[in-house]
Structure 1
Amino acid sequence: MMRILTILAAFMVFCPGAYARDLKVATWNLGWHLSIPEAKDWIAKCSAPFQLNAATGLWEPAVSGTPGWKLTWGRDAPIAWNISLLPPCDIFKSPAFDIVSVTEAAYAKRSGQLTTFIEGKIAPDVIAFQEVSGEQAVRDALPSNGAGYFVCTFTGHKVQRLAFAWKREFGPAVECEVEDALSLPSLTEKERVRPGLALALNIDGKLTRFLDVHLKSSCVSPFDNPPDALDGDAGPGDPCKVLQQQVVPLEKWIERKSVDTDRVVLLGDFNRNVWHETNETGAVRTDGSDPMAELPPKVRARKLIGEVNDGAPEGTLLTLLDEACPVNTASDDACKRLKSAKIAADEKLLKQSENLGCRNPVGLDHILIGAGFSSSHPAEKLALGRQGRTLAASTDHPNPLLALSDHCPLAVVIAD
């Protein structure tokens, strides 16, 4: 018996591609997450005073006046502030949606809580992040400053960046590439959106590809009309018109990168409820044509996933993993119902701290896998619980309590 085990062990060492390995994969949008040094700078700038400049019509930094925490923020707010470089001051809000001013101590505590959560609740082999500022921001959130992980990210573009972290046992990346086409370079700098981030690893001798995405926001569900019909046009500024432009570059990545491997994972914050697309009647395209053919220039995709994941060429078809919320029966039932309908009561239930606890509980984050992988269980939404809420400082608590994120992480175990 001992000899058989020895031979088997040797076989597995010298033929690593000959046995199956379970791989825990996760995706998590961390909500404008900064490194600790960057956060200190951001807190200082948001704590500083602003005054309204009558000549420019902008709130500008001043010697005295209203602190940044007290201003009214928004994408087009009249504030002398570049949110491409630094988050706005309103990213942490109370349950009543009041802006919560942040302290360095509170941010450091949140960073430590992220580390504990990732280590204890997710324990990923590979994790895709969205809305992180860079490598140090990721390492601040990983156990032991990421000593057990490689990290792949990028500089440039805007502060809401993407990143991967994976266990060092898998070795360095074969490829770590920014998928720039997804950022729509033809748009103006202000309107340009986030790129994708592609990672290739050699796992047990097998080429494995990942694409992390954070697509255009505010075009969530085909059940919303307008402006969330992907094929619609609600006029200037319609976010669906921008998301529509990301369809072709996303499909081209799938087709291009599936040529040399069927071990492909597409994951991230799609900002699109693809379950609602699946359950919405009607054709994939506005003209009813076959999505397996190239999208004609004047035809729009009605369904993002139906268009990009059409199985052509052969071998490119990905499987959208089922998703579950097993924190309790009420949450899991709500998740199931929300795949085919918009139910305000179920959404409210999932946001409560005794359930998932995050402000964006389901419908935005997804995982798809190629034919080289399988999963015997659905991807699971991991509950943040009370750590999904933000509370302002008080007399008894001089530092605020900061939510880990407005998203709950999504994780799954996949196998060869």
Structure 2
Amino acid sequence: MRSLTSILLLSWFLCGNASARELSVATWNLGWHMDKATAGEWIAACSGLFLKDEATNVWKPSVDNTGIPGWQVNFREEVEWDWERFPVCDVYKDRNFDTVPVTEVAYGKRLQQLNDFLRNTVPADIYAFEEVSGEQAVRDALPDSGAAYDVCTFKDFKVQRLAIAWKKELGTAANCDVEPSLSLPGNPDADRPRPGLSVDLTIDGELVRILAVHLKSSCVSPLEASGNLSDDQDRDCRLLQQQIAPLETWVEDLASTDKFIVLGDFNRNFWHEVHETGPVRTDGSSPHMLLPPGVLVQDLFGEVFDDTPALTTVTLLGERCPLNSTTTILCEKGETGLLTADERRQLSQSQNLGCRNPLGLDHILIGRGLVNIEGAEHVAVGAFGGTKPASGLHPDPLLAISDHCPLTAKLAF
């Protein structure tokens, strides 16, 4: 679809509707975030020794006190591991991309920094979190153990789970539904991405539906050689391609209200797709029609959000980085074209956005029954986005609170 509204100053709406309800929403990928108890077990497992089985080429926990610590194992290889409970051991990397072993003291400090950051910098009525291990992980992150919030999440699938948290004052959710079709249940376990998650809230008598997503990674932009969605030989793009049809069906099934929000880590740069002028599909057919067998999608945004049916019409919120002139200029440039490696490093520096993945992955979309005033904002994490290894002066490492920056927006209806 192409019904985009970038940054609208709709003062007439708010002035003409003195009782208009305002909502603050945020989406944030917390980067393999675990609750404190699970983190302790993970640290113990990664601190254990592993050996590669020469017969199977699988890394396995050592039984004779020989081998290398899990922190040194390459998790791109095959590893005997509890994937439903634990992240990989090489989550935290320093500026040289070397793995930083984690201690319980360091993880406790990270939790406190994350807690303070959410309280002081990203207070929201509704959060969508990606890459969390479960409800307790969310409550460990939220101020006061999330006492002011209800949480919707799930226990199945792999450890990179979704969660939606909302202030209790907004009301009790009518549902907390997982959408398994997005996880591609027909695929082998190794080729199954994350499911979707939705919550229905009745706010001031109005149904507001929230859909949270975390799609397949590493097929980010049509402007990159590795981002050609129709390249069926590329594993990541092939899996993202397989998620398109169930994503569109899910959105259409749930768009029975015009007050809905779709947000999360889409792992796809929608703004690059918007500014591309090529066909949505490989055969040039209309995205309003059923996708013909064998035809691939080249533009995920144009295919899924095609204004059909009418209730699925969305606004892709314009994204700002107003911290300083550097972030403003680079974010504007990154909306229409690729940033150089040096420009991305600039954005990731602590005096700028601070996070390793600053742009192009996270988005907020709203139905036509909701109004956005200022666009969405990428919130800088600054020095909290970097990981530093332990040293002689500091026996515990310093852990990044996330490799993503939060994306926030203020809405009204």
- Structure 1 and Structure 2 fold alike (TM over 0.5): yes
1:52-201 alignment, distance < 5 Å: 52-62=52-62, 63-74=65-76, 77-201=77-201
Inter-partner Cα distance in structure 2 for 1:232 and 1:47: 39
Inter-partner Cα distance in structure 1 for 2:211 and 2:109: 31
Deviations for 1:10-31, whole angstroms, at most 9, x for unmatched residues?
xxxxxxx993111000000001
Q: Residue 365 of structure 1 aligns with which residue?
A: 362
- The normalised TM-score by structure 1 is 0.92
Report the residue type matching 1:245 in the other structure.
Answer: Q
Inter-partner Cα distance in structure 2 for 1:279 and 1:371: 22
CA contact (8 A) 1:231 1:301 kept: yes
SS at 1:339 equivalent: helix
1:213 pairs with 2:209: no
Q: How far off its partner does 1:80 sit?
A: 2.1
Q: Residue 400 of structure 1 aligns with which residue?
A: 397
Inter-partner Cα distance in structure 2 for 1:19 and 1:251: 34
* Number of positions where the alignment pairs a residue of Structure 1 with one of Structure 2: 394
SS at 2:227 equivalent: coil
Report the residue type matching 1:232 in the other structure.
Answer: D
Q: Residue 252 of structure 1 aligns with which residue?
A: 249
SS at 1:377 equivalent: coil
Q: Residue 19 of structure 2 aligns with which residue?
A: 19
Q: How far off its partner does 1:178 sit?
A: 0.2
SS at 1:393 equivalent: coil
CA contact (8 A) 2:172 2:201 kept: yes
Deviations for 1:119-147, whole angstroms, at most 9, x for unmatched residues?
11110100000000000000000011000
Structure 2 residue ranges without an equivalent (≥5) = 1-16
- Whichever of the two has the greater Rg, that structure is 1
1:241 pairs with 2:243: no
Inter-partner Cα distance in structure 2 for 1:394 and 1:83: 30
Q: Residue 321 of structure 1 aligns with which residue?
A: 317
Inter-partner Cα distance in structure 2 for 1:78 and 1:148: 42
Q: Residue 3 of structure 1 aligns with which residue?
A: none
Q: Residue 409 of structure 1 aligns with which residue?
A: 406
Q: Residue 10 of structure 2 aligns with which residue?
A: none
SS at 1:114 equivalent: helix
Q: Residue 275 of structure 2 aligns with which residue?
A: 279
Q: Residue 33 of structure 1 aligns with which residue?
A: 33
Q: Residue 301 of structure 2 aligns with which residue?
A: 305
Deviations for 1:20-46, whole angstroms, at most 9, x for unmatched residues?
111000000001101101000000011
1:293 to 289, 312, 323: 289
1:347 to 339, 344, 349: 344
Report the residue type matching 1:170 in the other structure.
Answer: L
Q: Residue 11 of structure 1 aligns with which residue?
A: none
Deviations for 1:293-326, whole angstroms, at most 9, x for unmatched residues?
2222221111001010010112220000000011
Report the residue type matching 2:186 in the other structure.
Answer: S
Q: How far off its partner does 1:50 sit?
A: 1.6
SS at 2:312 equivalent: coil
Q: 1:41 to 1:280 in 2, by over 3 A?
A: same
SS at 2:311 equivalent: coil
Inter-partner Cα distance in structure 2 for 1:340 and 1:320: 14
Inter-partner Cα distance in structure 1 for 2:338 and 2:310: 34
Q: Residue 228 of structure 1 aligns with which residue?
A: 227
Report the residue type matching 1:330 in the other structure.
Answer: T
CA contact (8 A) 1:27 1:268 kept: yes
Inter-partner Cα distance in structure 2 for 1:84 and 1:327: 38
Report the residue type matching 1:313 in the other structure.
Answer: P
CA contact (8 A) 1:127 1:166 kept: yes
Inter-partner Cα distance in structure 1 for 2:58 and 2:255: 49
SS at 2:181 equivalent: helix
Inter-partner Cα distance in structure 1 for 2:19 and 2:252: 27
Matched residues, percent identical?
52
Report the residue type matching 1:155 in the other structure.
Answer: K
1:376-387 alignment, distance < 5 Å: 376-387=373-384
CA contact (8 A) 2:85 2:133 kept: no
1:269 to 265, 270, 278: 265
Q: How far off its partner does 1:79 sit?
A: 2.7
Inter-partner Cα distance in structure 2 for 1:336 and 1:84: 39
Report the residue type matching 1:358 in the other structure.
Answer: C
Q: Residue 336 of structure 1 aligns with which residue?
A: 332
SS at 2:25 equivalent: strand
Report the residue type matching 2:367 in the other structure.
Answer: G
Inter-partner Cα distance in structure 2 for 1:19 and 1:332: 33
Q: How far off its partner does 1:251 sit?
A: 1.2
Inter-partner Cα distance in structure 2 for 1:52 and 1:213: 35
SS at 1:267 equivalent: strand
Q: How far off its partner does 1:72 sit?
A: 2.3
SS at 2:377 equivalent: strand
Q: 1:315 to 1:269 in 2, by over 3 A?
A: same
Structure of higher RCO (CA pairs closer than 8 Å, 6+ residues apart): 2
Inter-partner Cα distance in structure 1 for 2:261 and 2:293: 28
Q: How far off its partner does 1:56 sit?
A: 3.2
Inter-partner Cα distance in structure 1 for 2:53 and 2:235: 30
Q: CA RMSD in A?
A: 1.4
Deviations for 1:188-235, whole angstroms, at most 9, x for unmatched residues?
12211110001110111100001100001111000112x3111122x2
Inter-partner Cα distance in structure 1 for 2:343 and 2:368: 33
CA contact (8 A) 1:103 1:400 kept: yes
Report the residue type matching 1:70 in the other structure.
Answer: Q
CA contact (8 A) 2:115 2:140 kept: yes
